[in-house]
A and B are shown apart, each in its own frame.
Chain A
Amino acid sequence: DVKVTQSSRYLVKRTGEKVFLECVQDMDHENMFWYRQDPGLGLRLIYFSYDVKMKEKGDIPEGYSVSREKKERFSLILESASTNQTSMYLCASSAEGGYNTGELFFGEGSRLTVL
C-alpha cells in the first residue's frame, strides 16, 4: 500500500525551539509538498520540492525552511518556533507531472503546538 508517513502525529514545543517535521514517501515520487492547515483557511502551501535538493517557496514560507537530501524524504524546519506556528502540518507527494493532475498523496498530518 502506497504511503506518505509523517514522523510525529503530535508535538508540543516551546517558543524559540528548533522543530523538525519529517516526511517519507515510498512511491518514488519526484514532487513533495508541505502544507499548513488552519480552521477557516483551508490548506496553504509552505514549500514544495520537485527534485532532490530543489525547493520552491509556496504562499507562506516565512519562518520555515525545508531540506530534501534524498528523494523519499522531505523535512520541514522551524528555525525558531513561535506560537503563531501552532497548526496542523500536512506533507504530500505526487509523481512527475503529478501536480498537474492534482493527485497528491497526503500523510496523516502532524499537529504542532507551540507554547
Chain B
Amino acid sequence: AQKVTQAQTEISVVEKEDVTLDCVYETRDTTYYLFWYKQPPSGELVFLIRRNSFDEQNEISGRYSWNFQKSTSSFNFTITASQVVDSAVYFCALSEEDSSYKLIFGSGTRLLVRP
C-alpha cells in the first residue's frame, strides 16, 4: 500500500539555521512521483517540487534543496539559512503511475522559524 510518513510533527529553529524535513514513502510501483508542498498561514498550499522515480538527482533551488534516495525510500527537504517567511506547514506527497490523479499526502511538518 502507498504511504507517506513525515515523522517530524513540529520543528522550531532560529533564523539562519539550516533545517531538514524528512519524508519516507512506501510504494510497490516502480514508476511514481514525489512532491513537496508548502502551506503558509494563509492556508493555500503551494507546489514546490516534483520528482519522478527515475530521477535521483538532487535538486537545488535557491535556499531549498531536495535529496531523493530510493535505497532508503526517502525524499528529504532542506532549507538553508532559514528565514521567518519559511514558517509554514510542509507536506510531502506521493502519486503512483496507475493512479496518478491521486496524491497521497503525509501528515505534514510544521516549521517555525524564530527571529
Q: Which residues of A contact B (CB under 8 A)?
A: 31, 40-45, 48, 50, 56, 58-59, 88, 90, 92, 99-109
| A103-B107 in contact (CB<8A) | no
| B106-A50 in contact (CB<8A) | no
Q: Kindly specify which of B14-22, B39-47, B55-63, B79-87 makes contact with the partner chain.
A: B39-47
| B101-A48 in contact (CB<8A) | yes
**Which range contains the number of B residues in contact with the other chain?**
20 to 34
Known A100-B33, A105-B47; 12 more pairs at CB < 8 Å: A31-B101, A40-B107, A43-B91, A99-B95, A99-B101, A102-B93, A104-B45, A104-B103, A106-B45, A106-B46, A108-B43, A108-B44
- In the complex, whether B70 has a CB less than 8 A from a CB of chain A is no
Residue pairs across A and B with CB atoms within 8 Å: the count is 61
| B102-A45 in contact (CB<8A) | yes
What is the CB-to-nearest-CB distance from A38 to chain B, in angstroms, rounded to a whole number?
Answer: 9
Give Cα distance in the complex from A44 to B3, angstroms.
12
Cβ 8 A contact of B105, one of A42, A99, A107: A42
Give Cα distance in the complex from A100 to B50, angstroms.
10
List of B residues within 8 angstroms of A42 by Cβ: 4, 6, 91, 105-108
| A103-B47 in contact (CB<8A) | yes
List of B residues within 8 angstroms of A58 by Cβ: 102
Give Cα distance in the complex from A42 to B108, angstroms.
6
Give Cα distance in the complex from A105 to B47, angstroms.
8
Give Cα distance in the complex from A45 to B99, angstroms.
12
25 CB contacts below 8 A, A to B, read: A31-B101, A40-B9, A40-B107, A42-B91, A42-B105, A42-B107, A43-B91, A43-B103, A43-B105, A44-B105, A45-B103, A56-B101, A58-B102, A99-B100, A99-B101, A99-B102, A100-B33, A102-B33, A102-B50, A102-B103, A106-B45, A108-B42, A108-B43, A108-B44, A109-B44
